[in-house]
Chains A and B, each alone.
Chain A
Amino acid sequence: MSRIFGIDLGTTNSLIALLEGKTPRVIPDPASANALLPSVVALVPDGAVFVGDSAIEMEPRLALKPDSQVSGPGPHRGEAGAVVRSVKRYMGLGGDEVSPEDRRRYAFTDFAGPVVRFRVGERSYTPAQISAEILKALKRRAEAALPDEKVDRVVITVPAYFNDGQRQATKDAGRLAGLEVVRLVNEPTAASLAYGLNQMAEGKVAVYDFGGGTFDVSILNIKGGIFEVLATNGDTHLGGDEIDRAVADWLLEEAPDSVRDRRAWNSARLVAEDAKKRLTQANSVELRLDLEGGRRIARVLTRADLERMASPFVERTLACCGRALEDAMLRASEVDAVVLVGGSTRMPIVRRRVEEFFGRRPLCSLDPDQVVALGAAVQAGVLMGSHGDMLLLDVVPLSLGIETMGGVMERVIHRNTTIPTSAAENFTTAVDNQTHVDIHVLQGERELANDCRSLARFKLGPIEPQPAGLPRIEVTFLIDANGILNVTARDQRTGREHSVDVKPSYGLTDEEIERMLEESIDLGEQDLERRLLITTRNEADQILTALGKQLKEYGELVAADERRRIEETSSQLEAARRGDDRELIGRLVEELNEITTPFAERIMDHAIKIALQKKSIEELS
């Protein structure tokens, strides 16, 4: 199996890391040696896409007027293009879920429908597709650094407070980039893994992760290599972006209305971000903003001014910390260590307030921009079996429930439950001969279904017509180790599995992703074929191994001609699995499955008979 890489798909910057021996290391850009890939994507109408520094270089040409014609020189003269930053803010959201601020950001965005779409010329891109371009750029970076290795399996980090839809969208992005997302890991938890490797003392640890677009806090108990998350809290739209926007608003305060357009806002934001960074060292800086028509704004910003503007956001992060502590049933003074993660924790006000809140000096020995990617690489190591003693036990950040009569949210799985976890609920019919039951799955902490986020709807059935209340269908809600929901249903009377066709309320359906994959003219296609081949080969191995054991143990249960046929097909499959013909392997697996079914049934009968005999002997004695 190929190596698994760790990816931090950030709001502002993205990174890819790998494990060398037992030490995680970020792979820098071969040309610039820069570890961070700016999460900036330039979309050009002919379908060309630029990521990172090259996208930023494109910006003056494309984003001069983001929603109209490009007038500058260059290869795309006269065409409209777009530069998208902070695409993570739109991941997995329905148009109606995007905040007014984020709607204002881009004119070329379509907010109708269950997925946000960025329109460029004749094309439109979903946030998952744009994120996939960032992932592809990271993949190319790793491939360039390690020419002998395949880069096709990854761990991707997500904010701990991401809901099911946002997680699903991140997985979709991986798929669209031709990557198998082996695991999604929560960012603060990943950071704790990176610190844990550095022999951080065991005990209760709070990870405070304040990034470009999101805030997370996780409280962990670390003991004997087990990283157990006790509680997590956060806000997926609370980051350095919010502070930049406040500063940008202040900068444009005195500008005449006529120049306060989208372009001015976006430029002001960049100037604000730069000033904020400089104020980490300096006590005051001058901000200059060139506007259209040769107008210029210049204002001086002191650190005290900045802190006054940032303060409400910092206080909101501390309120999240309070809620996480409450859920973990701990007081701030009981926390043994506090770890700072994310670029926004470079701000002095953040460090000061966190120290005051927890009553102890926070740790920041690892680069706050890199620590999450390093942790993702450690988790990749755990998944590859190279850190056998470490284990991560994460939690689901938001409660999951179903809508009951009267629009009330009934919790099925409570927030901060360790994952993977499952819960079963029984459903029945309300009227005679009802053949379907509609189920609405929700995520959130509010009492009313309307105030929670709609996650999916599905129909149970077809149910055999019976009087109302008689059918008993057990639905199992399982949240996997990625924090993503899987639903299965089963008729309690017949034991029959029901098909559950879950329609996500937001986000992309499987068919849409398949179509996007088909449409993308990319090397990714080859990768996909390769992955499917590997999966099919694994299936072949599995059936061949099991069959070999069964023939050895229960050989007397097979007739001679039956054995001949089984062995013939087996050896055909053995030969095929060494080749590359996926369809042939798949066909033979199915064939072998079919001809061995009677044998398997006989084994089962035999075992039951033996068990019964044993039981009757026990009863006699």
Chain B
Amino acid sequence: MVQCPSCARLIKPAITCPGCGAPVGSELDCFAALGLPPRLQIDTVRLEQAYHDLGRRIHPDRFASSPVRLRQASLRATALLTRAYRTLRDPVARGLYTLELNGVKLAENNKNVPPDLAELVFEVQEQLADLNAERSRGGEAARGLNAEVTARRAELQRTMDGLMDELNALFARIDANDTAARDDLYAELKAILSKIAYMRTLIRDVDKELDLTRAA
């Protein structure tokens, strides 16, 4: 039990007091902080709505002239809310967080390329290196290479879109299963999240190279 900093009622740990609505700022998991059920499939419009509605009520801007205790509760509650929103907004962060919440260990600093992406990654990196070298030299072939990389960028995006569809389907399967049967699904989730993380980095590298070429 905790005490509400405003009405002094004793309440269960919460973001806001169920009695008077004042910020309390207890440590809660990200789903509970936003008042959402712990499901991987999230309606992002509803998520943003919940974040903005709560934010409007508990933000420190609303308590600038309040007693210190209430100001501090507002600060704590808003920090927690912000962290929860950022975590749940991004499907990848949401997936990773769910794994963590369920005690699935993630290998630290896993820099290994997921095996079924290895060939693609190798090809793309070679292309980027060629483009970079040709551009630095001011060579004639830069234009052609640039077109190739641009086509590659579109292909990568399609792969990424496919992975995101796969991820969403997996989210649905996990949500539909009861907790006991989820272990295999979590292993699957871990694998696909690692692929997506890798693809994100790759796409960012490609965009950077294309931007440099455009500027040159």
Cα–Cα, bound, A481→B71 (Å): 11
Binds B, one of A30-38, A365-373, A418-426, A573-581: A418-426
B78 touches A384 (CB 8 A): no
A420 touches B79 (CB 8 A): yes
B52 touches A546 (CB 8 A): no
- A392 and B61 in contact, given A417-B86, A478-B75 (Cβ under 8 angstroms): yes
The residues of A that contact B9 with a CB separation of less than 8 Å are 549
Cα–Cα, bound, A550→B76 (Å): 24
A420 touches B8 (CB 8 A): no
Interface size class of A (residues with CB under 8 A): 35 or more
Does chain B have a CB within 8 A of A300? no
A383 touches B67 (CB 8 A): no
B75 in complex: contacting residue of A223, A384, A418, A420, CB < 8 Å: A420
B64 touches A183 (CB 8 A): yes
B7 in complex: contacting residue of A478, A549, A604, CB < 8 Å: A549
B48, chain A: closest CB distance, angstroms: 8
Cα–Cα, bound, A469→B69 (Å): 35
A422 touches B79 (CB 8 A): yes
The residues of A that contact B8 with a CB separation of less than 8 Å are 545-546, 549-550
B62 touches A385 (CB 8 A): yes
B80 touches A422 (CB 8 A): yes
B61 in complex: contacting residue of A382, A421, A423, A542, CB < 8 Å: A382
A1 touches B65 (CB 8 A): yes
- A418 and B67 in contact, given A392-B61, A478-B75, A604-B1 (Cβ under 8 angstroms): no
Does chain B have a CB within 8 A of A514? no
Provide the A378-396 mask, 1 if CB < 8 A to any CB of B, else 0: 0100111100010111000
B4, chain A: closest CB distance, angstroms: 9
A232, chain B: closest CB distance, angstroms: 16
A384 touches B64 (CB 8 A): yes
B55 touches A481 (CB 8 A): no
A470, chain B: closest CB distance, angstroms: 22
B52 touches A226 (CB 8 A): yes
Does chain A have a CB within 8 A of B39? no
A167, chain B: closest CB distance, angstroms: 15
Q: Which chain B residue has the least Cβ–Cβ distance from A380?
A: B64
B60 in complex: contacting residue of A226, A480, A603, A611, CB < 8 Å: A480
Does chain B have a CB within 8 A of A541? yes
Provide the B1-44 mask, 1 if CB < 8 A to any CB of A, else 0: 10000011110000000000000000000000000000000000
A248, chain B: closest CB distance, angstroms: 31
The residues of A that contact B69 with a CB separation of less than 8 Å are 542
B61 touches A607 (CB 8 A): no
Does chain A have a CB within 8 A of B136? no
- A420 and B82 in contact, given A391-B56, A549-B7, A603-B10 (Cβ under 8 angstroms): yes
Cα–Cα, bound, A384→B64 (Å): 7
Does chain B have a CB within 8 A of A539? yes
Cα–Cα, bound, A550→B83 (Å): 34
Provide the A519-558 mask, 1 if CB < 8 A to any CB of B, else 0: 0000000000000000000110110011001100000000
B52 touches A607 (CB 8 A): no
Does chain A have a CB within 8 A of B59? yes
Does chain B have a CB within 8 A of A224? yes
Chain B 68-117 residues near chain A, CB threshold 8 A: 68-69, 75-76, 78-80, 82-83, 85-86
Cα–Cα, bound, A421→B80 (Å): 7
B10, chain A: closest CB distance, angstroms: 4
The residues of A that contact B61 with a CB separation of less than 8 Å are 183, 379, 382-383, 391-392, 481
Cα–Cα, bound, A608→B67 (Å): 27
The residues of A that contact B56 with a CB separation of less than 8 Å are 226, 389, 391
Cα–Cα, bound, A559→B59 (Å): 40
A566, chain B: closest CB distance, angstroms: 15
The residues of B that contact A418 with a CB separation of less than 8 Å are 82, 85-86
Provide the A590-621 mask, 1 if CB < 8 A to any CB of B, else 0: 00000000000001100110010000000000
B86 touches A383 (CB 8 A): no
Cα–Cα, bound, A518→B100 (Å): 52
A480 touches B75 (CB 8 A): yes
Does chain B have a CB within 8 A of A502? no
B15, chain A: closest CB distance, angstroms: 14
Cα–Cα, bound, A602→B69 (Å): 21
A393 touches B79 (CB 8 A): no
> What are 29 inter-chain pairs, A to B, with CB distance below 8 A?
A1-B65, A182-B64, A224-B52, A226-B52, A226-B56, A383-B61, A384-B64, A384-B65, A391-B52, A391-B55, A391-B61, A393-B59, A417-B82, A418-B86, A420-B60, A421-B83, A422-B79, A423-B83, A478-B79, A480-B75, A481-B75, A481-B78, A538-B67, A546-B8, A549-B7, A549-B8, A550-B8, A604-B1, A607-B1
| New contact pairs (12) apart from A417-B82, A480-B60, A542-B67, CB-CB < 8 Å | A383-B64, A384-B64, A384-B65, A419-B82, A478-B76, A481-B60, A481-B75, A539-B67, A549-B9, A603-B10, A604-B10, A607-B1
Interfacial residues, chain A to chain B (CB-CB below 8 A):
1, 4, 182-183, 223-224, 226, 379, 382-385, 389, 391-393, 417-423, 478, 480-481, 538-539, 541-542, 545-546, 549-550, 603-604, 607-608, 611
